[in-house]
Structures are given as C-alpha cells and as structure tokens.
Amino acid sequence: MIDQQTYAEPFQRGQPLEGGCVGEVVESNRGTFRVGDYVLGRKGWREYYVSDGAGLTKIDPTLAPPQAYLGILGMPGLTAYVGLLDIGRPEAGNTVFVSAAAGAVGSAVCQIAKLKGCRVVGSAGSSAKVRWLQEVAGVDAAFDYKKVGSLTAELKEYCPHGIDVYFENVGGTHLEAALEHMNLRGRIVLCGMISQYNDTTASSGVRNLRLAVRKRLTLTGFIVSDHADRQPQFYADIGAWIADGKITWQETIIDGIENAPKAFLGLFTGENTGKMLVRLGGEPSVR
C-alpha cells in the first residue's frame, strides 16, 4: 500500500486490488484466445474480467496445474532462479543460507541450490515448515527461527564453514546474523525484507554492516521484472526439473474472494507454506 513501485504496483484507493492470477477464458471474440484456454495476467482480486488480451499470456496446463504459473513456474520461481543463479552465483560446495525458506520464493531457492551441489540451510517459522524443508525439499539443515534464542548462534551450528550466499527474504535480525557468518567475498542476494514492510516508523539499521567491508561482500538488490530476458531459460530448466521430479512445491489455498484479505495478511504471519493462493469459484486443479 506504500506508494512505491517494486515488483508489484502499489494498491490504488477506489480501484480493485491487482495481483497475479490465472484463469480460464469463458467467452472470447478474439481468435488468439479460445474458450477453455488458461491465461496468466495481473488482474488479481476479482472473479471475472473483460480483457482486450493485452498483458495476458496463454499458459500450458499440461506441464503443471494452471496455478503453478503463479508459483514455481511463475514470478516467484523466476525470482528464485535469477536471484540465486545470476546474483548469488553459487558454486558446488558453497553454503547457501535462505530465509523464509518454506515460502514460494525460498522453497524454490533451496531446491535449485541443492541441484547446483550446494549445502543448503533454511530458516522458517514453524516446525511443520522445517520438517517439509528437511524431508521433502532435501535441505541439509533447517531451523525454526521463532524458537531459537540467538539466530547468530544457530547459524554458527548449521553453517560451520560459514555462508557463501545468503538469499535474503526477511531482513532485520536475519540479515545481521547472516553478516556475522558470511565468508570472504560472499554474496548477499537482497530479494525482500518482509519483516519490515509494515513498519510505520523507520526501522533500526543493520548494526553490523561494517562486516561487509572487511569480508569484501557483495550485497545486491534486484527486482524480478528487470530479468524477463531469463524467462526462456528459466522455463527450459524448471520445466525439465519438474518433469524429472527434481523439484517440488507446496501451495496454501484459501477459498473465496471474501477471504482474500485474510490470505494476504497471512503472508505476514507465516500462514502459508509455499505459494499463498486464493481460489475464486470454479473447480480446482488439484495436484
């Protein structure tokens, strides 16, 4: 709601809320879209809309259920892919630490990093999420950051050889703890800082940023929409990993447009594992 454009448009007063959506064409006067086609767009929080086709992309529901184009095959998946591979530049044997590791972006980062031969450590906000990371996503270690006394001590235990790449989704104390354990010439991928999005006063600074100097760290922010050129390679790689069963994902599905605000707010209290989705009418495509 803050009037700053990032990877999502700010909400506008008096206008329907916007967000990524997939849906089915129910009527069409254009040859390019047929009834029954599935499309991806950014209209979001509404059950039906009329479009001239601009900004709509047809999706292939045979590769994965249509809603996967909002998660692993969509914007969050591309964010994970570009952020980790292009900005984090992990090498086999590197230690990669991921915060909000069981979320839409984080869970993809963890699995791609494993596919690249890295040691992966994830932080998440419940024991069920930690279990999923260890048992399904196959990370080397995961912990519930809400249950630990000191994030710094926890990272010392799980990253005994330090951290080469930190994939930052959370900010605040997570960033400070990661900085303590970054290795020389490590990369910090600044993807998001969800712990600070709802701050109404200036948050206190990162108290140990000085470590970035001594350790020759690179901290790089990025916005996924600047990396549309990576889409073809992303589809090729992720499509192959899905087809080979090498990557998986979770979804949290809330039903009904009346529950969309609840779903949105749930992102800030960790109600979701994997992509938070709102299902608006129609029959679900169940995985």
Q: What are phi and psi of 41, to 5 degrees?
A: -155, -165
User: Pick from 59, 85, 104, 247: which binds ligand NAP (CB under 6 A)?
Assistant: 104
Nearer to ligand NAP, 215 or 230 (CB): 230
Nearer to ligand NAP, 12 or 127 (CB): 127
* Of 175, 177, 222, 250, the residue nearest 81 (C-alpha): 222
Question: C-alpha angle 279/244/63, rounded to 5°?
Answer: 35
What does the alpha-carbon distance between residue 35 and residue 63 come to, in Å, rounded to a whole number? 20
Site for ligand NAP in 199-258 (CB under 6 A): 222-224
Q: Quick check: 125 binds ligand NAP (CB under 6 A)?
A: yes
Q: Quick check: 124 binds ligand NAP (CB under 6 A)?
A: yes
Residue recorded with tokens 């994902």:
249
Scanning 13-21, 104-112, 148-156, 242-250 for contacts with ligand NAP by CB under 6 A, the matching segment is: 104-112
Binding mask 146-185 for ligand NAP (x = CB under 6 A): -----------------------xx---------------
Beta-strand ranges (E) seen in the chain are 21-24, 38-41, 57-58, 95-98, 119-124, 141-144, 163-168, 182-190, 218-221, 251-255, 275-279
Q: Quick check: 7 binds ligand NAP (CB under 6 A)?
A: yes
Q: Quick check: 77 binds ligand NAP (CB under 6 A)?
A: no
User: Pick from 22, 39, 96, 100: which binds ligand NAP (CB under 6 A)?
Assistant: 100
Q: Where are the alpha helices (DSSP H) in 82-201?
A: 104-115, 127-135, 151-158, 173-181
What residues have CB less than 8 Å from 55, skipping those under 6 apart? 41, 42
Nearer to ligand NAP, 111 or 195 (CB): 195
Scanning 11-19, 99-107, 112-120, 147-155 for contacts with ligand NAP by CB under 6 A, the matching segment is: 99-107
- Report the run of H or E that residue 243 belongs to, with start and end: helix 231-243
Q: Quick check: 267 binds ligand NAP (CB under 6 A)?
A: yes
Alpha-carbon torsion, ordered 223, 227, 231, 235, to 10 deg:
-50
Scanning 33-41, 175-183, 188-196, 234-242 for contacts with ligand NAP by CB under 6 A, the matching segment is: 188-196
Q: Which two tokens stand for residue 20?
A: 């990524």
What does the alpha-carbon distance between residue 259 and residue 255 come to, in Å, rounded to a whole number? 7
User: Pick from 73, 98, 105, 278: which binds ligand NAP (CB under 6 A)?
Assistant: 105
Q: Quick check: 188 binds ligand NAP (CB under 6 A)?
A: no
User: Pick from 20, 88, 103, 186: which binds ligand NAP (CB under 6 A)?
Assistant: 103
Question: Interface with ligand NAP by CB under 6 A: which residues?
Answer: 7, 76, 79, 100, 102-106, 124-126, 129, 169-170, 191-192, 194-195, 222-224, 267-268, 270, 272, 276
